[in-house]
Chain A
């Protein structure tokens, strides 16, 4: 059986996606062999499919190279790294709170962060991401009755970030960033 143009074109998507069974695929190919118009149309779509694949591969290379290489300029520096660290710190803190809330461990007084091994491993992975992306060495998390403060050390020793989650007084921020160097840039964010 020889398919007409209309029946061939209806099968274009399945042909591109490799979803046609063998017999129908052969019929489509038979039609394309003698129909210039349909062949040109299928060719255009096949080329487009190749272009999309090439764009996808280019995007993967951009990701693999990282933001600084992709932008063709030096790493944007502390501002970007710090915001990244802060976002991940927030993530870790919010996660802690969520997990503690779920477990009902919210007594009055200081909120202790005590994690079981599974939780610790998950948090460690997040912390690892955060630390690696920010070039930081450590993330300090401390708590109060209604507050968790996260102190993120960044790769710039003069820049510390403190994220406060909940009702935090100035003490939490002060304690977390007190390193005796008045030239340090301590950024405190409240949520």
Chain B
């Protein structure tokens, strides 16, 4: 068999041993995290991340380019914002970290509250929704948010500010 014609188990074994671009896998995990935070369904998120990789190939963006990661974050973000949910959002109960000594009732109440917060986020305009997700859940700096959203740092701060105000109001009125 000609060289390179088959990506064999030998090759994959070397990747598993860490000799080949673990950075790609790390990036994939990061993108999955972001996508779940925006669409709240792991299977939908998986499809979106795969689609982003496919687009990167057809767009000719090289994996070795410095801009690749922000480009992928931006692409995944845009795909998520334009995503029409195919499956229902994950329930949050099993995924909440219970605090020490917290009763099941209290965990259930907190889960219910977080579902309300999640619902409020989904009602925000897309730019605000993305900005607050990147800032509040991904802990990204405003400079990074500006780069991903291709806007100025001032605009990024403004989107986060408006999103916070809107969310605080929405959550207050649903209490």
- In the complex, which residues of chain B have a beta carbon less than 8 angstroms from the beta carbon of A16? 164
A73 to chain B, nearest CB (A): 10
Determine whether the beta carbon of A88 is less than 8 Å from that of B6.
no
- In the complex, which residues of chain B have a beta carbon less than 8 angstroms from the beta carbon of A52? 117, 132, 136-137
User: Which residue from chain A places its CB closest to the CB of B25 in the assembled complex?
Assistant: A129
A99 to chain B, nearest CB (A): 9
Determine whether the beta carbon of B2 is less than 8 Å from that of A113.
yes
Given A48-B117, A141-B7, the answer on whether A125 and B53 have CB atoms closer than 8 Å is no
A57 at the interface (CB under 8 A from B): yes
Determine whether the beta carbon of B54 is less than 8 Å from that of A87.
yes
- In the complex, which residues of chain A have a beta carbon less than 8 angstroms from the beta carbon of B15? 121, 124-125, 127-128
B74 at the interface (CB under 8 A from A): no
Q: Report the separation of the CA atoms of residues A172 and B57 in the bound assembly, to the nearest whole angstrom.
A: 22
- In the complex, which residues of chain B have a beta carbon less than 8 angstroms from the beta carbon of A91? 53-54, 56-57
User: Which residue from chain A places its CB closest to the CB of B167 in the assembled complex?
Assistant: A48
Main secondary structure of the interface of B (DSSP, over half): helix
Q: Bin the interface of chain B by size.
A: 35 or more
User: Which residue from chain B places its CB closest to the CB of A61 in the assembled complex?
Assistant: B95
Main secondary structure of the interface of A (DSSP, over half): helix
Which B positions have Cβ atoms within 8 angstroms of A? 2-9, 11-12, 14-16, 19-25, 28-29, 32-33, 36-37, 40-43, 45-47, 50-51, 53-54, 56-58, 60, 62-64, 87, 90-92, 94-97, 110, 113-114, 117-118, 132, 136-139, 157, 160-161, 164, 167-168, 171-172
Given contacts A44-B168, A121-B20, A123-B7, 14 further A-B contacts (CB under 8 A): A16-B164, A54-B97, A57-B97, A65-B42, A65-B95, A72-B94, A87-B54, A98-B60, A112-B2, A112-B4, A113-B4, A124-B11, A125-B15, A141-B6
